[in-house]
Structure 1
Amino acid sequence: MATTTLRSVKSLVPLLDRVLVQRVKAEAKTASGIFLPESSVKELNEAKVLAVGPGGIDREGKRLPMGVSAGDRVLIPQYGGSPVKVGEEEYHLFRDSEILAKIKE
């Protein structure tokens, strides 16, 4: 895992077709109010897009549009991406093509 000395995730700007996301944390409490131990709480495949790069470049040198934008809720693969830790928070960088789906409200 890459540990950085960044003070804020806002200073992390993805390049090309990279997408910076933060996984949505699963609820540690059930609907009836029972707190679950940390070991039983699974990571969700849902994430919030924090920042996107400008897009990749095709063979003709034209910029390809990104499929997601900052603020989108997306479905990400269970494994993969590049983890980045800023302070106590963990983020992931994925390529735009690795994002599985956009979640509409």
Structure 2
Amino acid sequence: MSENDHVWSRYMFGITAKCSHLTNNLAESFNAFIGDARAKPIIYCVDSIRIKIMSMMNHRRMVAERWKGVLVPEVQKQVIELSKNKGMFDVQGLLLTELKWMGKREGMK
């Protein structure tokens, strides 16, 4: 093996968490989500989690059906705000569904 295996080879990396706070937050969020299902036998636990996920997805679908356009409402608001200042931007079409906004003035972000 080369001298630089520790830089690029996955097998040379340690298995401990590199961001323990992220791992901990994920575990806490999951445990809070499954709630009382943790104490049930595995079949009932998995079934409870499945029902929660199905309910959550159904709720999100019903909310999304009320949207007027093809964009998420928050993104739609941002597009409207950007279009108010469209004189400051040069819009280039990349694809049928994709645009690129470039600032006309130097230093624009």
Q: TM-score, normalised by structure 1?
A: 0.26
- Greater strand content: 1
Answer with 1 or 2: which has the greater Rg: 2
Q: Which has the higher helix share?
A: 2
Greater RCO structure (CA 8 Å; 6+ sep)? 1
**TM-score (normalised: structure 2):** 0.25
